[in-house]
Amino acid sequence: MRLNSYITLLGSLVFLASCSTVRKMTNKDKSANTVVTKKYGTEKREFLNGIQVTLGTVTTTRQKTKSVATGSGKTGNSGEATAGKADIEKANWLQLKYAVVIDAPVENLTNIPLLEQIDRWWGVRYCIGGSTENCIDCSAYTQILMREVFKVSLPRTAQEQYNQAQRVELEDLQEGDLVFFSTGGGRSISHVGIYLQNNKFTHASTSGGVTITDLNDKYWSPKFRGGGRFQQ
């Protein structure tokens, strides 16, 4: 009996000692229930373009990013962009319109300022000595277009323009050359126009005002007296 009681007492002491050790370990180590926090320092790091970053934070730079313009058009406010688009649409419309009249491919009509001038004066009636949009004669019309489009100054009358021009054969005519006619018979020059392309020329005719006509026209063909060129 005494031996059994002794063994039992000794076992209890061992068990109590073990529980005490476990409690001490539990009290000292609470890592399982603790959220780990890590504080960053306040040291700043500087990168390219003046961007500063403090560890643990994000700081935006004051430096603005420059936009890169693309394309060949001008950049600016919305009004400028709209105007540019309108100019392109107008140019395309003029090319389509006069490609039909001249009977030429649209891509061949590249002189937009010339088309704009023709369109501006189109249908203005003819009158001798006229030089306005109310009425105009043939030599005033060529004088204005050559000045505005080709930057060439011409004398006032058709005969004077013929006298000062460099002679050009029919097969060598180029856009901007002058074409001369004699409407009263003989060799005197009484009418002038500006050659375009595909055998067509623009002029202020006595019957239809400012228009475009073919050199092979049955009225104008026999009256043709030659071409002339003025250098810019």
Catalytic residues: 138, 191, 203
Q: Which residues make Cβ contacts (< 8 Å) with residue 89, sequence separation at least 6?
A: none
**Do β-strands 224-229 and 209-214 pair in parallel, antiparallel, or remain unpaired?**
unpaired
**Distances from the Cα of 205 to the Cα of 65, 138, 179, 191, angstroms:** 60, 7, 13, 9
CA distance 53 to 109: 59
Candidates 52, 54, 53, 55; CA nearest to 38 is: 55
**Do β-strands 52-54 and 44-46 pair in parallel, antiparallel, or remain unpaired?**
antiparallel
The answer to whether the beta carbons of residues 107 and 98 sit under 8 Å apart is no
DSSP helix/strand/coil, 120: helix
Q: Which residues make Cβ contacts (< 8 Å) with residue 107, sequence separation at least 6?
A: none
The CA R_g of the chain, rounded to the nearest whole Å, is: 47
